[in-house]
Amino acid sequence: QVVPEKNIPVIPAMGKDNTSSSPFTKRLEGKIAIVTGGARGIGEATVRLFAIHGAKVVIADVEDVLGLALASSLSSPSAQAVVTYVHCDVSSEDDVENLIDSTVSEFGRLDILFNNAGILGSQTKHKKSIVDFDAVEFDRIMRVNVRGVGLGMKHAARAMIRRGTAGSIISTASVAGVMGGMGPHSYTASKHAIVGLTKNAACELGKYGIRVNCISPFGVATPMMVNAWRSTHYDGGGDEEDEDDDGGAGIFNRQVLVEKTEEFVRSLANLKGGATLKASDIAEAALYLASDESRYVSGHNLVVDGGVTTSRNCIN
């Protein structure tokens, strides 16, 4: 048996939101990036990190107030960053086309698309068995999670091919896209579909120098996860879209819910040391896939889950 030496940190001190652990700075200098679902959660952490690393970033979201506030706070003269906001419902082809076209006309080209917008749907409804499958909810989730990613790939690839840009297209899948039993039925189907789209698009776009990858996070205590946790444990019936709805949370305020969600995720992770998965950990993965350091990586699904999916079936 190998015994760890004392005083060796079990895992590196990561997870401070919005900081980069990398010794390299400005890894995206001069690049133009779009982050869908960039107004909050994983998208917001990625917008911040991409901007720190010198990219000009366009936030695309349907939460206009949040998105505009983030863009203006990051674009303040002291921040020395260029971050803009475009309203875009990723399930609308007109919106996605407008997003890509307006980015190219403002900044000259597009280097990075992070297809990150996604919805979980109503957790309470989806606690139902497959024999109670909700076709309406299925269509709603597929429209955002799969159609949205497909449309993003289509219009980003067109813009990159037209300009001869060696671009990087990244999408957020999930551990629910890797194995079953990690989320509601429709969400799981949608995230498996994102992994499939990624592999196919990577096959085809490599010849243009465009890399296509996805990231599969485990649980991060974003509004989506916290609301899901609340509705599962307190049966409030809320979903990720009604952030202000406190139904079911009872005496728990949002901070308590975040802590409870993180505690739950930590208890499942297969990493010693009580590591909490943060949105910034996913942003770091996106930074790697967006930067030239991953220039030989395409068609890959980068799982960021503290070993959960691989260790679930371990027999030793």
Looking at 172, 186, 280, 291, which residue binds ligand NAD (CB under 6 A)? 172
Please tell me the count of residues contacting ligand NAD according to CB under 6 A: 29
Backbone φ and ψ for 246, nearest 5 degrees, come out as -100, 15
Looking at 144, 197, 269, 289, which residue binds ligand NAD (CB under 6 A)? 144
280 binds ligand NAD (CB under 6 A): no
Q: Which stretch binds ligand NAD (CB under 6 A): 14-22, 24-32, 204-212, 223-231?
A: 223-231
Backbone φ and ψ for 51, nearest 5 degrees, come out as -65, -40
269 binds ligand NAD (CB under 6 A): no
Catalytic (active site) residue 187: yes
Contact (CB, 8 A) for 14 and 274: no
Contact (CB, 8 A) for 156 and 113: yes
Distance CA 13, CA 275 (A): 9
Closest CA to 63 of 36, 102, 97: 36
- Residues between 73 and 132 that touch ligand NAD (CB under 6 A): 88-91, 116-119
Q: How many CB atoms lie within 10 A of CB 77?
A: 6
* Residue 38 identity (one-letter amino acid): G
298 binds ligand NAD (CB under 6 A): no
152 binds ligand NAD (CB under 6 A): no
Q: Which stretch binds ligand NAD (CB under 6 A): 32-40, 78-86, 132-140, 199-207?
A: 32-40
Looking at 46, 61, 184, 284, which residue binds ligand NAD (CB under 6 A)? 61
Q: Contacts by 64-67 with C-beta closer than 8 Å and gap 24+?
A: 66/39, 66/40, 67/38, 67/39
**Which positions are catalytic?**
187
Binding site for ligand NAD (CB under 6 A): 36-37, 39-43, 61-63, 88-91, 116-119, 144, 172, 174, 217, 219-220, 222-225, 240
